[in-house]
Structure 1
Amino acid sequence: MSVDELQEYGLERMNDEQIREFLGSQSTGVLGLPAEEVPYMIPMSYAADGDSSIYFTYLLGPSSNKEALSQQGDRARFLVYSVETMFNWRSVLLAGPLSEVPEEEWSDLEDVLTNAWRPELFKNAGTGGNVKVYELEIQARDGIRHTGLARGFQESIDY
């Protein structure tokens, strides 16, 4: 079924403001990078600038598929979702070009990157490895949500 067909059951499309608010309230998602046979997908924490871009801090080892695929591909997708219950969930899919941010520009992003959530493991491990920042320029965004019981369901419950 399409999103339009599911609207009668309580599914709603999110507008741009709802998508911005949702991205600002979350901290992780799944980054999809183009690969030869199947997409390469990896959970990532992110920082949102509020409107046009999201940023990822990569901690890289000596041989990194994530880095190689990020440099080879010119577009990526990023999925952010939250599920509270089977009747209360949200999902936002972003797409756009992914590019490395030059280190000399990191200071311009300090406010955005400082507030980004990161796993405690990465903080404890330090930044002795290779660190890079990547930007996903949001060119396409789509969000859907279900935030209550399906229409007709509540009426069928008698207490």
Structure 2
Amino acid sequence: MSTDELLESSATRMADDRIRAFLTEQGVGTLALPDEDVPYLVPMSFGYDGESALYFAFLLFGSESRKEALSERAGSAAFLVYEARSPHEWRSVSLRGRIEAIDEDDDEDEEGGWADLREAMENAWHPDLFSSAEPMRGVHGYRFRIDEWTGIRQGGPSE
């Protein structure tokens, strides 16, 4: 293997400012919630506040939601955001933190409440499903407080 091939194929850690930029650019990832033997994984749209929290809006259908039930009893969770442009150019950020419901009765101006969720979700990716739903009907807000993160990348512009 040549030096160029080795350099192209080696992954490097992302600096904190690059992780922040990546989370701001992206809008979808995978939430992992603890569930008995195997984590429950669910793709999620998310918004990032630019500092220390992700926000989710769960669109709920029916009387029971496994995602809602697991989130309510989970003390901690994990979240993965990744982008794969090619086998030689990709980025991923793995986060660990605490997930908590945003109280529907929170004051609109309260820090970490619905106003922050709405602002953070402006850059989130949303499936067509959200556009057909009535605003805030059947929607529960959640905040994911980031305790730690790790970002790695391969290829692309150097840091």
| TM-score of the alignment, normalized to the shorter chain, above 0.5 | yes
Name the residue aligned to 2:121. Answer: 113
Q: CA RMSD in A?
A: 1.9
- Deviation, 1:128, is 7.0
Name the residue aligned to 2:134. Answer: 126
Matched, 1:83 2:91: no
- Deviation, 1:117, is 2.4
Query: Residues 91 and 145 of structure 1 are in contact (CA less than 8 Å); yes or no, is this contact kept in structure 2?
Result: yes
- Deviation, 1:110, is 3.0
Unaligned segments of structure 2, at least 5 residues: 1-5, 107-112
Query: For the residues of structure 2 that align with 1:133 and 1:94, how far apart are their CA atoms?
Result: 19
Query: For the residues of structure 1 that align with 2:136 and 2:20, how far apart are their CA atoms?
Result: 33
Moved more, 107-116 or 78-87: 107-116
Name the residue aligned to 1:41. Answer: 41
Report SS of the residue matched to 2:144: strand
Query: Residues 48 and 54 of structure 1 are in contact (CA less than 8 Å); yes or no, is this contact kept in structure 2?
Result: yes
Q: Deviations over 1:63-93 (max 9, x none)?
A: 1000000011100000000000010000100
Query: For the residues of structure 2 that align with 1:101 and 1:34, how far apart are their CA atoms?
Result: 20
User: TM-score, normalised on structure 2?
Assistant: 0.83
Query: Residues 58 and 131 of structure 1 are in contact (CA less than 8 Å); yes or no, is this contact kept in structure 2?
Result: yes
- Deviation, 1:7, is 7.7
Moved more, 6-15 or 36-45: 6-15
Which amino acid in 1 is paired with 2:43? P
Q: Identity across aligned pairs (percent)? A: 44
Q: Deviations over 1:103-141 (max 9, x none)?
A: 223124432233422112221133474211101100010
Report SS of the residue matched to 2:30: strand
Matched, 1:10 2:14: no
Query: Residues 59 and 127 of structure 1 are in contact (CA less than 8 Å); yes or no, is this contact kept in structure 2?
Result: no
Q: Would the alpha carbon gap of residues 146 and 129 (structure 1) be closer, same or farther in structure 2, given more than 3 Å must change?
A: same
Name the residue aligned to 1:157. Answer: none
Report SS of the residue matched to 1:125: coil
Name the residue aligned to 1:65. Answer: 66
Unaligned segments of structure 1, at least 5 residues: 1-5, 149-159
Query: For the residues of structure 2 that align with 1:8 and 1:117, how far apart are their CA atoms?
Result: 30
Query: Residues 53 and 144 of structure 2 are in contact (CA less than 8 Å); yes or no, is this contact kept in structure 1?
Result: yes
User: TM-score, normalised on structure 1?
Assistant: 0.83
Report SS of the residue matched to 2:21: helix
Answer 1 or 2: which has greater helix percent.
1
Query: For the residues of structure 2 that align with 1:108 and 1:48, how far apart are their CA atoms?
Result: 10
Larger radius of gyration: 1
